[in-house]
């Protein structure tokens, strides 16, 4: 079966973001960018399905300007077979991303689409669910285990009280949680090979969708700073402060 | 103007976070209807009718909604949405799971995880693991919103709303529930506890988490963990506090053997008082802690337990 893996280029997770002085957004100039950690897990899962003989082809897709080709090459180096860049310099709402992905799903007819559960920049946690709604497919979100079983896929999901397993008819949508797998590192030979793998570029405008923004970002501010605290010397002092100064214990 | 709020429950109990979501809905303006979708969930409907500020409780009691599968619940909510301007759910796993599906079916953008309501179309939400706060205006005619419960104070429960049974059964037929493996705990719910004590990689193994038990008992605290502790297999993942785990804002948060990575801070830095116990004086957790103690946790924890 064919597996489609949408990936996103985001700020590296270790970077401490700065808000622009005019409060228009965060400052991404000269900041290290990387593949979103949840998307990396999605690529790894797809590649493992291929290694297990379940998947026959893994296609990575990303929506953005030319710079996201870097992340697509990373996905190819990790084992994806080919890549598609949907070219746009617009900042899209998750709904638009889902609509563009729906077109790719219609074209490629994958049996499984694996996405990250959320991107670490917008923290929306929406795209996979929206794509599932638009395609009419079942969804297995926040997956920590994925087992394809004939015409169905069993997905173990991380839910508030613990774990829940659901069975989904294929084709289906899965979104990854952190504990699904441990992504591999790309080896140098694989990075070299990835340069020759096919990468198709398709302008977003060619899909004929109305991508007018549905939300306006009015402002972005830094979070309230916490007051610097104190270091206490002993447990006695700590307990005394919590009782009498902070009054959070009695 | 009216607001449909999805009630979070497990078919027997209404989750306390729903009361916070209703508070957020009140700030959006209009009559509030609470939707209870489940199976054999009469007890939840009764509890929902007592939530202050709610005009009507809609109950969809059907086997199709027992496990609140996104495929089925989203069809129900989308059908009801015609009569509402705002469709609101709590940003817990159920709400996060089905609400974007509702938004897509209604062809509107969703605004996730809001922490404040500025007006009926303008909302405040954290982005970049809480390192920036965005104010976002929705341009859609219908607003689909999920609410971060720690951002709002719970409404009281001495109301008396009308309860209306809905005769609905929408089964998409594309998914089914197999089983649940839920963690059993006598302690308060992590999201709702007024005191949380969390362990990190410094705990070294799962057995050492027992060192937190006595303190948690004395303080009536819930026990949490950092991602490092979960990934190392010390504790189950539903104990994880952070950007990708639970977001907590207790009166007192005690971080034990936790360095304080950005992703962990995203889940707890709105706590009223933060205490850090760490042997590394340079650990970033000390930059947000109100009280820090530089000590080996294996000495500090038994001493703390004995002195509480």
Model pLDDT, residue B184 = 80
Which string of DSSP letters, residue by residue, matches chain A? -EEEEEE-EEE-TT----B-TTSSSB--TT--EEE-HHHHHHHHHHHHHHHTTS-SEEEEEEEESGGGHHHHHHHHHHT-SEEEEEE--S---HHHHHHHHHHHHHHH--SEEEEES--TTT----HHHHHHHHHT-EEEEEEEEEEEETTEEEEEEEETTEEEEEEEESSEEEEE-GGG--PPPPPHHHHHHHTTS-EEEEEGGGG------SEEEEEEEPPPPPPP-EEESSHHHHHHHHHHTS----
- Looking at the complex, report in whole angstroms how far the Cα of residue A77 sits from the nearest Cα belonging to chain B: 25
The chain B residue lying nearest A179, using CA atoms, is B231
User: Is the confidence at residue A250, as pLDDT, over 80?
Assistant: no
Dihedral sign (CA B157, B160, B165, B168) = negative
Work out the number of other CB atoms within 10 angstroms of the CB of residue A230: 14
CB–CB of B33/B54 below 8 Å?
yes
Model pLDDT, residue A36 = 97
User: Is the confidence at residue A7, as pLDDT, over 90?
Assistant: yes
Model pLDDT, residue B191 = 83
Model pLDDT, residue A161 = 84
Instruction: Report domain extents, chain A.
Output: 2-225
How high is the mean pLDDT of chain A?
96
Cα–Cα distance between B58 and B259 in angstroms, integer? 46
Model pLDDT, residue A32 = 97
Model pLDDT, residue B243 = 87
- Looking at the complex, report in whole angstroms how far the Cα of residue B287 sits from the nearest Cα belonging to chain A: 6
- Looking at the complex, report in whole angstroms how far the Cα of residue A29 sits from the nearest Cα belonging to chain B: 15
CA distances from A118 to A175, B93, B128 (A): 8, 13, 11
3-state secondary structure of B216: helix
Q: Is B55 on the interface with A (CB under 8 A)?
A: no
User: Is the confidence at residue A55, as pLDDT, over 90?
Assistant: yes
Complex-level ipTM beyond the 0.90 threshold: yes
Cα–Cα distance between A46 and A186 in angstroms, integer? 15
Interface of B with A in 233-252 (CB under 8 A): 236-238, 243-244, 246, 251-252
pTM over 0.80: yes
* Stated length of chain B: 308
> Residue B194: is it exposed, middle or buried by C-beta count within 10 angstroms (0-12/13-18/19+)?
middle
- Looking at the complex, report in whole angstroms how far the Cα of residue B67 sits from the nearest Cα belonging to chain A: 10
* Tokens read off for A116: 């990250």
User: Is the confidence at residue A34, as pLDDT, over 80?
Assistant: yes
| Residue B301 parent element (H or E) | helix B297-307
Cα angle value A169/A40/A164 (rounded, 5°): 40
Cα angle value A180/A186/A188 (rounded, 5°): 170
Buried b (16+ CB within 10 A) or exposed e, A108-131: eebbbbbbbbbbbbbbbbbbbbbb
Strand partners, B199: B225, B256
Cα–Cα distance between B115 and A137 in angstroms, integer? 31
Cα–Cα distance between B219 and B213 in angstroms, integer? 10
Cα–Cα distance between A8 and A37 in angstroms, integer? 9
Q: Is B18 on the interface with A (CB under 8 A)?
A: no
> Residue A5: is it exposed, middle or buried by C-beta count within 10 angstroms (0-12/13-18/19+)?
buried
- Looking at the complex, report in whole angstroms how far the Cα of residue A78 sits from the nearest Cα belonging to chain B: 22
User: Is the confidence at residue A45, as pLDDT, over 80?
Assistant: yes
Chain-chain contact of B93 with A130 (C-beta, under 8 angstroms):
no
Q: Topology of domain A2-225, per CATH?
A: Rossmann fold (3.40.50)
Asked if omega into B267 is within 30° of 0 (cis), the reply is no
Cα–Cα distance between A43 and B271 in angstroms, integer? 36
CA-atom Rg of chain A in angstroms: 21
pLDDT in tens, A100-152: 999 999 999 999 999 999 999 999 999 999 999 999 999 999 999 999 999 99
Q: Which residues of chain B have pLDDT under 50?
A: none
pLDDT range class, residue A226, cuts 50, 70, 90: confident
* Tokens read off for A40: 């990396």
Q: Is B63 on the interface with A (CB under 8 A)?
A: no
Count chain A–chain B contacts defined by CB atoms under 8 A.
259
Interface of B with A in 196-235 (CB under 8 A): 219, 227, 230-231
CB–CB of A80/A19 below 8 Å?
no
Q: Is A97 on the interface with B (CB under 8 A)?
A: no
Q: Is A164 on the interface with B (CB under 8 A)?
A: yes
User: Is the confidence at residue A14, as pLDDT, over 80?
Assistant: yes
Closest CB from B102, B175, B290 relative to A168:
B175
User: Is the confidence at residue A246, as pLDDT, over 90?
Assistant: no
CB–CB of B132/A223 below 8 Å?
yes
Chain-chain contact of B172 with A138 (C-beta, under 8 angstroms):
yes
Nearest residue to A130 via CA among A175, A170, A89: A175
pLDDT range class, residue A70, cuts 50, 70, 90: very high
Chain-chain contact of A11 with B139 (C-beta, under 8 angstroms):
no
> Residue B48 half-sphere exposure, CB side, CA atoms within 13 Å?
36
Cα–Cα distance between B105 and B87 in angstroms, integer? 13
**Site of tokens 């997770």:** A13
Work out the number of other CB atoms within 10 angstroms of the CB of residue A30: 5
Cα–Cα distance between A59 and A75 in angstroms, integer? 9
Strand partners, B143: B86
Cα–Cα distance between B294 and A32 in angstroms, integer? 33
Cα–Cα distance between B135 and B144 in angstroms, integer? 16
| Test the A interface: residue of B103, B172, B249, B276 with most A CBs within 10 Å | B103
Residues 6+ apart with CB under 8 A from A143: A117, A155, A156, A157, A158, A174, A175, A176, A177, A180
Q: What are phi and psi of B213, to 5 degrees?
A: -60, -50
**Site of tokens 């030979």:** A189
| Test the B interface: residue of A97, A121, A133 with most B CBs within 10 Å | A133
């Amino acid at each position: 079966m064919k597996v489609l893996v949408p990936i996103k280029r985001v700020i590296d997770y270790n970077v401490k973001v700065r808000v622009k002085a005019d409060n228009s957004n965060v400052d991404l100039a000269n900041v290290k960018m990387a593949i979103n950690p949840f998307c990396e897990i999605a690529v790894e899962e797809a590649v493992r399905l291929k290694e297990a003989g379940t998947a026959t082809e893994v296609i990575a897709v990303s929506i953005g300007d030319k710079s996201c080709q870097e992340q697509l090459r990373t996905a190819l180096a990790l084992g994806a077979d080919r890549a598609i860049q949907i070219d746009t310099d617009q900042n899209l709402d998750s709904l638009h991303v889902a609509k563009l992905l729906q077109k790719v799903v219609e074209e490629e007819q994958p049996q499984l689409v694996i996405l990250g559960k959320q991107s670490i920049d917008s923290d929306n946690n929406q795209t996979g669910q929206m794509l599932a709604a638009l395609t009419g497919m079942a969804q297995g979100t926040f997956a920590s285990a994925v087992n394809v079983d004939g015409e169905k896929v069993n997905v173990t999901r991380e839910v508030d009280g613990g774990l829940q397993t659901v069975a989904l008819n294929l084709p289906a949508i899965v979104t990854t949680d952190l504990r699904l797998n441990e992504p591999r590192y790309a080896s140098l030979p694989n990075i070299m090979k990835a340069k020759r793998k096919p990468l198709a570029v398709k302008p977003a405008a060619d899909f004929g969708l109305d991508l007018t923004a549905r939300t306006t970002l009015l402002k972005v501010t830094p979070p309230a700073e916490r007051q610097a605290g104190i270091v206490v010397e002993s447990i006695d002092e700590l307990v005394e402060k919590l009782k009498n100064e902070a009054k959070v214990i009695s | 103007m009216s607001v449909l709020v999805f009630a979070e429950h497990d078919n027997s109990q209404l989750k306390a976070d729903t009361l916070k979501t209703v508070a957020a809905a009140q700030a959006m303006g209009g009559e509030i209807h609470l939707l209870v979708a489940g199976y054999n969930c009469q007890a939840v409907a009764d509890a929902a009718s007592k939530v202050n500020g709610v005009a009507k409780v809609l109950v969809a009691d059907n086997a199709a909604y027992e496990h609140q599968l996104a495929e089925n619940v989203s069809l129900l909510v989308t059908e009801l949405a015609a009569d509402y301007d705002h469709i609101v759910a709590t940003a817990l796993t159920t709400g996060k799971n089905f609400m974007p599906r509702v938004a897509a079916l209604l062809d509107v953008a969703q605004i996730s995880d809001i922490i404040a309501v500025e007006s009926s179309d303008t909302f405040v939400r954290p982005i970049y693991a809480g390192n920036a706060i965005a104010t976002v205006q929705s341009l859609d005619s219908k607003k689909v919103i999920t609410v971060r419960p720690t951002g709002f104070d719970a409404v009281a429960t001495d109301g008396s709303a009308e309860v209306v049974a809905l005769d609905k059964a929408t089964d998409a037929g594309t998914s089914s529930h197999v089983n649940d493996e839920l963690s059993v705990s006598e302690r308060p719910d992590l999201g709702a506890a007024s005191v949380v004590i969390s362990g990190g990689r410094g705990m070294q193994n799962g057995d050492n988490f027992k060192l937190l038990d006595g303190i948690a008992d004395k303080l009536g605290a819930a026990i949490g963990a950092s991602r490092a502790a979960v990934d190392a297999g010390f504790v189950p993942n539903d104990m994880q506090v952070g950007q990708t785990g639970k977001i907590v804002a207790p009166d007192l948060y005690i971080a034990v053997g936790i360095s304080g990575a950005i992703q962990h801070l995203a889940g707890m830095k709105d706590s009223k008082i933060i205490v850090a116990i760490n042997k590394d004086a340079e650990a970033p957790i000390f930059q947000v802690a109100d009280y820090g103690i530089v000590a080996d946790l294996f000495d500090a924890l038994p001493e703390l337990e004995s002195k509480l």
